Amino acid sequence: MCGIVGYIGRQDALPILIEGLKHLEYRGYDSAGVAILGKDLQIQKSQGHIAALEAKLVQMDGTTGLAHTRWATHGRPSDLNAHPFTDCSGAMAIVHNGIIENFQALKEDLLAKGHTFVSETDTETLVHLFEEHYKGDLAEAVRAGLKKVVGSYAVAVIHRDHPGMLVAARNENPLVVGVSADGEGVMASDVTPLLDFTHEFTFLEDGDLVVLREGEFQLMDLDGEPVERPVHVVDWNLEDAQKGGFEHFMLKEIFEQPQAILDSMMGRIVEEDLTALAPPDVDKIKIIACGTSYHAGLIGKYILESLAGLDTTVEMASEYRYSNLAKESALVVAITQSGETIDTISAVREAKRRGTSTLAITNVVGSTITREADQTIYTRAGPEIGVAATKTFITQLIAIYLLAFALGAKRRTIGAEHLRVLREELRRLPSQVQQVLNNRDLIKGVAEPIHEAHDVYFIGRNINYPSALEGALKLKEISYIHAEGYPAGEMKHGPIALVGEDTPIIAIVVDDPVRPKMLSNIMEVSARDAPVFAVGLEDDVELAKLVDVVIPVPRTNPIFSPVVVLVSLQLLAYFVAHMRKCSIDKPRNLAKSVTVE
Ligand code: F6R
């Protein structure tokens, strides 16, 4: 996820673009850059926050320009990898948000044609591709280039020979355009930087291309055929706009999960060989992580064991580093959304000292863990502002599925047909998560009786035992209600002593071999008068008879069920916290990245 802003008008573009970028910094903040079209095309960019760019900016005169704030996916944050990029002639500048899946193949082709590249990014391929197609008509060059692209993009382009013109296009990444009362043409990734200019916006749809000039814009498809899109009046203030109209970043990020899953899978289900990330002789895995990432690891154990036949153990990073193991023989997989958790970083150092290979799964390109671990898989969730991990957690699971597919295929623990079916099922997850999100009102209704509880128990079995742990962690950290997750079979060994009419139980029941046992465990707690709410299949009539309410989730292969279950439980925690008027995006005592031991 990155932020794009563009301006065409009569005013000096530079301060307008820099101000616009500041409103988009929540979309990415590892580097920033700006291109201004004046007498010539001028570009300045810098690694770091927008303030770092501002500190070294020299004036660039011109009334047309583009700017970008980056959240790295391909290539670490650096001055060279920052956008905008130019073509070989230095005539064209582009900024891009998204992922070009076939960039390697395109790049090889362009290299063979004599183009030279300066960065590690997928984006730079686009500007050379457009240059290759440029015959004097900028829109035509962009259209022709994009027809060769597989992937997602919001891309915007300016050209020295076309002053006062900006061409932009969208596929699976947002882009909005508008024209101010004074005729200034503005565009951006979302409406936030544009609210000072207009409240009337046109949102591009997938496959749309826009040619923006002072006072007007034309929309067309990639064949150049005109398209019409409605004008929306957006009456948000700046803060509302940054949250995309959602009340909290956490809720927005929960709703971004279909896209985050899609981005995390892009180009990796079949194309990219993730086996290269693991040493060839790997036969054991040890996952180390903290908090929510630790729960992703616990779910990962089930995934890696059942799909790749790998003996997998999971340890809390803060404990691993003080264990007495002298030599480590397992491949150590460190999971950390921030890439900066000191417990996890120290555990990776310790694992290396014990003589093993390490693989990091993280969301932040260039974070400390990526320098410490031997290899890295990025989760591509985009920046997460809410302290409670949601989309970063779900995309950690996606990374683990992809790794397990790759290792399972290599170790021949998954047959070709089984793998094909699993890949199909993985591809369905974004729309299945969307179905869960569509249940938000029902889930809000379940939050009502829970929000006054003092204690809540989450129960599940097998792969959904860690889902119970994560459901409980989400609830406790943002609503401050005491919550615990238990393997459902363990309740009778002690915790059931605490169960009664004041202790709501959240039971996770999907269509897997442990379902009959889950139903028995529900009866045990119901017999102690506990109100029971289930996360379960819509058509599970038997379950519906046993519990107060079922939060329905779509039927998936059980191995993928934690994804749909946990999106429901994230929403439940959110609504409970909301009813309790808690500080949802910044829960007390918690921080987004924990750099103390
Ligand atoms: C919970 C949460 C924390 C983090 C934990 C590890 O919502 O965000 O439990 O999961 O502090 O953080 P990372 O993944 O950055 O290592």
Q: Where are the domains of the chain?
A: 3-240, 243-427, 435-584
Tell me which of 335, 338, 376 to substitute to probe ligand 1's pocket, judged by most ligand atoms within 8 Å of the beta carbon. Answer: 338
**What pTM does this model have?**
0.86
Q: Residue 486 Cα, ligand 1 centroid: separation in angstroms?
A: 20
CA distance 500 to 472: 18
Q: Does the CB atom of residue 292 touch ligand 1 within 6 A?
A: yes
pLDDT at residue 506, as a whole number: 98
2 part of the active site: yes
Range 435-584 classified under CATH 3.40.50.150 = no
Q: Is the CB of 592 under 6 A from ligand 1?
A: no
Question: Percentage helix, strand, coil, to 5, in the chain?
Answer: 40, 25, 35
User: Does residue 290 line the site of ligand 1, with CB under 6 A?
Assistant: yes
Protein residue whose Cα sits closest to atom 11 of ligand 1: 291
In this structure, the strands spanning 216-220 and 311-316 are unpaired
179 Cα: distance to centroid of ligand 1 (angstroms): 42
CB 299 within 8 A of CB 287: no
The residue nearest atom 15 of ligand 1, judged by CA position, is 338
| The pLDDT value given to residue 271 | 65
Catalytic hit among 284, 476, 586, 592? 592
Which residue, by CA, sits nearest to atom 5 of ligand 1? 291
Residue 290 Cα, ligand 1 centroid: separation in angstroms?
6
Atom of ligand 1 nearest to the CA of 392: 14
Domains 243-427 and 435-584 share a fold: yes
Ligand 1 in reach of 594 Cβ (< 6 A): yes
pLDDT score recorded for residue 237? 79
* Any atom of ligand 1 within 6 Å of the Cβ of 389: yes
Side by side, the strands of the sheet bearing 455-460 are 482-487, 455-460, 505-509, 532-537, 549-553
CA dist., res. 444 & res. 576, Å (int)? 8
What pLDDT does 224 receive?
A: 96
Residue nearest to atom 16 of ligand 1 (CA): 336
Q: In what order do the strands lie in the sheet with 284-289?
A: 311-316, 284-289, 331-336, 358-362, 375-378
Give residue 484 CA to ligand 1 midpoint distance, Å: 17
Q: How far apart are the CA of 337 and the centre of ligand 1, in A?
A: 7
Q: Which of 2, 45, 286, 582 is catalytic?
A: 2
Task: State the Cα–Cα distance between residues 167 and 555, nearest whole angstrom.
Answer: 43
- Give the CATH number of domain 3-240; options: 3.30.465.10, 3.30.70.20, 3.40.50.300, 3.60.20.10: 3.60.20.10
Nearest in space to 151 (alpha carbons), one of 185, 219, 103, 93: 103
Ligand 1 centroid–CA 577 distance in Å is 18
Ligand 1 and 556: CB distance under 6 A:
no
DSSP per-residue string spanning 477-508: HHH--EEEEEEGGGGGGTGGGG-STT--EEEE
C-alpha atoms less than 13 angstroms from C-alpha of 289 in its C-beta half-sphere: 28
**Residue 185: its pLDDT value, please?**
97
Q: Does domain 243-427 have CATH number 3.40.50.10490?
A: yes
Alpha-helix residue ranges (DSSP H) falling in 229-355 = 238-242, 249-255, 257-265, 291-308, 317-320, 342-353
Q: 186 is written with which tokens?
A: 């503005």
Distance CA 434, CA 430 (A): 6
Whether ligand 1 lies within 6 angstroms of the CB of 42 is answered as: no
DSSP-assigned beta bridge partners for residue 64:
8, 37
Pairing of strands 232-233, 200-203: antiparallel
- Residue whose CA is at the smallest distance from ligand 1 atom 10: 292
Look at residues 54, 66, 63, 64 and name the one whose alpha carbon lies nearest to residue 12: 63
- 327 in active site: no
Q: How far is the CA of 277 from the centre of ligand 1 (A)?
A: 24
Q: Which residues, given as ranges, of the chain have pLDDT below 70?
A: 271-273
Residue to substitute in 248, 250, 287, 293 for testing ligand 1 pocket (most ligand atoms within 8 angstroms of CB): 293
Nearest CA to ligand 1 atom 4: 291
User: Does the C-beta of 291 come closer than 6 Å to ligand 1?
Assistant: yes
Q: How many CA atoms lie within 13 A of 362 on its CB side?
A: 29
CA of 281 from ligand 1 middle (Å) equals 31
